[in-house]
Amino acid sequence: MAKKKYKFNPDTLNYERVGISIKEKLTKILAHFASSFALALLFVIAFLNMYETPKTKSLERENKRLLTQYELMSKDLEKIDKVLAELEQRDDNIYRVVFEAEPIPSSVRKAGFGGTNKYSELEDMSNSKMVIATARKLDMLAKEAYIQSKSYDEVLELALNKEKMLASIPAIQPVANKNLKRTASGWGYRMHPIYKVRKFHYGMDFTAPTGTPVYATGDGKVIEVGGSSRSRVGFGLVIKIDHGYDYETLYGHLSAFDVKRGQQVKRGDIIGYVGNTGGSTAPHLHYEVHKNGRAINPAFYYYKDLTPQEYDKMIAISSNIGQTLD
């Protein structure tokens, strides 16, 4: 039982009971409640920091699992990116080159996403940097894949529309040379066999016995059949074929013809025979490819009848020859 308090009153000369006002009582109650609440809150915070609830543990496990999944997804995206880059490289440097189409600029393939920040709703997430980076990478790959898909649609259309062009482009060797033993001097600077000076050789020589068949390397029209077998300068007896699409081929030092001027020929048709006419030191065929009126390396155009390994072997053989036959 609470003790009663008394106070001496000098006016009445008596001890009077001291009372507590309602305001004071309320103040004490509130102070007691506040201190109790604060103490309880401290206990709860301390408990949560020291001990994990089952729900917290579950959330942490889920968070770790999601982080692992994001890391695996990121590695998979890197693999897809490499595969897509290889497809883009083949598209620009092989398929589009064959069909004489301009490669797709890197600025188009790698263009970013303009406008507002489409990832703003992800910024409040935990690990937001990783999530945003993964989302951005996924969007970029999706865009590049779409562009590549449209590019293949275009290449397919070019192939369907340019079947005639593919048949016309010089794409085989002009003489039978499967074992490559007839490969002689190739494109580049060589020692001239007659003048004994270093000159540029604008074609490729193939050694073969006189009378060996010479083949048209692409569909086209014979525009020149002529020359003199007695001349010791130039290419002697020559055949020129206009393949269209700005391509022409020249076959020199022939011994005889099997076509006439204005005749249409197909790839693989016999047009003449190997000889030793003109400025030649031994029976062989001098072969040139011209594009837009300029001689280009014929070795670029043997993709129809040579494997990559055979092509490399031919380049090595022709490069090791230090002197031409014409």
Give per-residue pLDDT as tens, 46-74: 766 766 667 777 777 777 777 777 777 77
Quick one: average pLDDT of 74-93? Answer: 80
Which tokens belong to 175? 């003489």
The letter for the amino acid at 232 is: R
Average pLDDT over residues 279-297: 89
- By percentage, how much of the chain surpasses pLDDT 90? 21
Tokens at 64, concatenated: 């770790």
Residue 249: the pLDDT is 96
User: Does the CA dihedral 278-282-283-287 come out positive or negative?
Assistant: negative
Contact 150, 109 (CB under 8 A): no
Mean pLDDT of 149-165: 78
Highest mean pLDDT, choosing among 112-121, 188-197, 308-317? 308-317
| SS3 of residue 128 by DSSP | helix
pLDDT of the residue at 191: 60
In this predicted model, which residue has the larger pLDDT, 102 or 256?
256
Q: Which of 102-106, 172-176, 225-229, 247-251 has the highest mean pLDDT?
A: 247-251
DSSP H helix total and E strand total for the chain: 7, 13
**Least confidently predicted of 75-89, 116-130, 229-243, 302-316:** 116-130
For the ranges 33-47, 110-124, 157-171, which has the lowest average pLDDT? 110-124
Closest CA to 84 of 151, 138, 150, 148: 148
pLDDT category of residue 320 using cuts at 50, 70 and 90: low
Of residues 311 and 230, which shows the higher confidence score? 311
pLDDT band at 257 (very low <50, low <70, confident <90, very high): very high
Q: What percent of the chain has pLDDT over 70?
A: 77
Q: How would CATH label the architecture of 188-320?
A: Distorted Sandwich (2.70)
Give the rounded distance of the alpha carbon of 82 from its chain centre: 8
- For residue 112, what is the DSSP state? -
The mean per-residue pLDDT over the stretch 76-86 comes to 81
Could you tell me how many residues make up the chain? 326
pLDDT of 147: 82
At residue 258's C-alpha, the angle toward residues 253 and 262, to 5°, is 100
Q: Out of 84-93, 122-131, 204-213, 236-245, pick the least confident.
A: 122-131
Domain locations in the chain? 6-50, 76-161, 188-320
Given a contact cutoff of 8 angstroms between Cβ atoms, the answer to whether 274 and 175 are in contact is: yes
The pLDDT assigned to 142 comes to 82
Mean pLDDT for the chain overall: 78
Q: Is 214 helix (H, G, I), strand (E, B) or coil?
A: strand
**pLDDT at position 28, please?**
77
Instruction: Mention every residue, 6+ apart, whose C-beta is less than 8 A from residue 48.
Output: none
Q: Is 271 or 191 the better-scoring residue by pLDDT?
A: 271
Output the CA torsion 231→233→238→242 (10° steps): -150
For 170-194, letters b (16+ CB in 10 Å) and e give bbbbbbebeebebbbbbbeebebee
Residue 232 has a pLDDT of 45
Three-class secondary structure of residue 254 per DSSP: strand
Residue 270 is predicted with a pLDDT of 96
Amino acid type, 185: S
What are the Cα distances from residue 160, in Å, to 163, 219, 220? 6, 17, 19
In 112-247, which ranges are continuous DSSP H helix?
Answer: 128-161, 163-168
Q: What is the pLDDT of residue 32?
A: 79
Distance, CA of 94 to CA of 92 (rounded, Å): 6
Considering only residues 266 and 112, tell me which one the structure prediction assigns the higher pLDDT: 266
Query: What are the Cα distances from residue 45, in Å, to 9, 32, 33, 60, 76?
Result: 51, 20, 18, 19, 42
Tell me, yes or no, if the pTM score tops 0.75.
no
pLDDT higher than 50, residue 141:
yes
